[in-house]
Structure 1
Amino acid sequence: MKRYVYVLLIVVLIVISAMTIFFFQLYANVKETASMIYEPLPPVTTHEPESTSAKPLEQPPAPKPVPEAHAKNEKKPLTLLLFGVDKREGDQGRSDTLILLTINPEKKQTLMMSIPRDTRTQIVGREQPDKINHAYQAGGIASTVRTVERFLDIPIDYYVKVEMEGFSNIIDSLGGVTVDNAFAFDYEGYQFPKGISHMDGQKALAYVRMRYDDPEGDFGRNKRQQQVIRDLMDKAKGISTVNKLDDLLSVVGTSFKTNLTFENMKELMLDYKSSLEQIETIRVSGEGRKINGVYYYLVSNEERLRIKKQVVEFKKSVTSEAVVASEK
């Protein structure tokens, strides 16, 4: 009996040692990948011809990093810009997807907003207003982040940029996505029946790209993008994802850029993960119109102010809201 217990104890120790080595290696791999994809917000650069960029660009003030809340065990709200870049032959690429996430860990909620790609606004790095998805072409990551900040008058704490083809590979690494399609359509050689559908990365990429046959236009497209991101969030939180992490990290290392440090990522996982359980979506209202033969989505100043107020209100702490309510 003692021999049996002794052998069992050795087996348990071996298993624990193997798990320790595995997770230590996992930790090292994650840290290495975080270092590869880290890119602080650079100054705005221009990719326009020299004749149109003779004057140095005015650099807006950098967004302040997340406050030193964690040292005081506080969990303060933060705003993150997620954008996907679709590169085309012969140009820098364009931000095909622009999603603003405002995360309030105290409320355990996240506010998600998709910005229509044809939204007309002042582009940081160019003199004339243009479509907001041209900001990346005008000045890369910095111009994209600064343009969204200027458009909504909301500071952005962090950004995450992903190459759209890399996005497809991430979906495959997580075993695909499952969505509830609102209507049947065909696009890029794929058929998308109405109802629940499971897709691999390439099919999911086609699913989120289609917009011209959608009755809601860009808004329908934004809804499909949000569907896919929600499902990916659910999968990323699952324990089974750990077994696929090596594949996932290799894709992330070649397809992502972010100003989140490794420490930031750990804090997000520990302090903000539960906030992704409840996601509220808001819509940017406006009207489509052609200007000089080019289609734009026009958003009024009143609508931008409404969105700003909603985000500011969402970021308020539960405690401060209770105090205001008691004073009324």
Structure 2
Amino acid sequence: MKRILRTLGVILVLGAGGAAYTFYQFYKNVEQTATAIYEPLPELPAAEQQPDPPVQPASTEKKQSEEVPAQQKPISILLFGVDKRGADEGRSDTIIYLASNPALKQTLMFSIPRDTRTQIYGSKKEDKINHAYAFGGMASTVHTVESFLDTPIDYYVKVDMEGFSKIIDSLGGVQVDNTFPFSYEGYRFEKGKIVLDGKKALAYARMRHDDPEGDFGRNKRQQLIIQQLMAKAKQISTVSKLDEVLANIGESVKTNLTFDNMQDLMFHYKSALDQVNVLRINGQGEMLNGIYYYQVSAEERARIKQQIDAVLHGSAENQHS
């Protein structure tokens, strides 16, 4: 009997040691991948910065070293999609703003139409907001959006859409409730609930010209996919897939979120996804010198900022008072 117990003890010790080693290897792999995609937001040269921006631009070093999110701290993230097709250098087709408050168990999400006319940070002229990337990469994009919304942004995540499809595959695909049937890029999307793998989801998110709502319809479909991915991120089983997800995105993603930031988001911000409020930025299309722009009034921008402040600066106590 004692021999049996000793044998069982050795097996348990070896099993525990193997599990600990496996977990350590998993942890190190995730950490290494997170380090590879980490890219601090560079400061624009002083000569290129526009005078008197509406808000203080995001401080790059401060954000990485001093402002690691606490469990209950609201944060804002700019999701930025670059669509690369063939040999082109890519177009900034997707700009999505997220504000999350775990104390309120709320997340605010909205797309900024790519044709929105605004002052481009690092330029002396107004242009389409998605052109900011051409002026100064992510730094110009983030600061331009900050100025447009009159609020600072904590973190950015840039992903090319091909890499986005790999993320979806890593998480087992997504299910969306499609509002109307259409075909695009060789795929058929029927009305109702449909399951999409990465390539189908990419085509589903890209279609615009056959949508009755045009770019707004495409934004809605992109947001549906993002919401499904965030819902999957809440599942405990998804944590075990984090290594695979990060490995698949590889060079497709750049972010100024550190490894510690990612851990905080994974484990402490799930409650903020309990309620995702999706807004639409209202405006009016206008032709200027033969170019189409989406004009957003000062009143509409103030309304959006009020919604942002309600999430970022609100409290659970205020919600119940």
After superposition, the C-alpha distances for 1:163-182 in whole angstroms (9 at most, x for unaligned) are 11111111111111111111
Q: Structure 1 39/283 Cα, relative in aligned 2: closer, same or farther at 3 Å?
A: same
Gaps of 5+ in 1: 46-54
Q: 1:106 to 1:185 in 2, by over 3 A?
A: same
Structure 1 residue 231: Cα displacement: 1.3
- The equivalent of 1:28 in structure 2 is 28
Aligned pair partner of 2:310 in 310, 313, 321: 313
Task: Tell me the TM-score normalised to structure 2 length.
Answer: 0.89
Structure 1 segment 197-216 matched on structure 2, within 5 A: 197-216=194-213
C-alpha distance after superposition, 1:145-198 (max 9, x if no partner): 011001111100111111111111111111111111111001111110001111
Pairwise CA distance, 1:83: 0.8
Give TM-score scaled by structure 1 length.
0.87
Q: Which residue of 2 aligns with 1:38?
A: 38
What corresponds to 1:52 in structure 2? none
1:272 and 2:269 matched: yes
What's the offset of the Cα at 1:204? 0.4
Seq. identity, %: 57
Q: Which has the higher contact order (CA 8 A, sep 6+)?
A: 2
Task: State whether structure 2 residue 210 is matched by structure 1 residue 219.
Answer: no
Letter paired with 2:216: F
* Superposed CA RMSD: 2.5
Kindly tell me: are residues 32 and 93 of structure 1, through their superposed partners in 2, closer, same or farther at Cα, counting changes over 3 Å? same
Structure 1 CA distance for aligned equivalents of residues 232 and 15 of structure 2: 26
Question: How big is the shift at 1:40?
Answer: 1.1
In 1, the alpha carbon distance for the partners of 2:145 and 2:42 equals 15
> Are residue 62 (structure 1) and residue 57 (structure 2) matched?
yes
Equivalent residue in structure 2 for 1:87, among 80, 84, 92:
84
Work out whether residues 121 and 129 of structure 1, in 8 Å CA contact, stay in contact via their aligned partners in 2.
yes
- Matches of 1:91 and 1:140, distance apart in 2: 16
Name the CA shift for 1:161/1:6 in 2 (closer, same or farther; >3 Å): same
Query: Which range is displaced more, 57-66 or 27-36?
Result: 57-66
1:1-328 paired onto structure 2 within 5 Å: 1-44=1-44, 56-58=47-49, 61-64=56-59, 65=62, 75-87=72-84, 92-318=89-315, 321=318, 325=321
Matches of 1:221 and 1:322 in 2, distance apart? 33
- 2:49 is paired with a residue of what secondary structure? coil
Aligned length: 314
Structure 1: which 4+ aligned runs deviate by more than 6 Å?
none
Contact 2:120-2:129 at 8 Å conserved across structures: yes
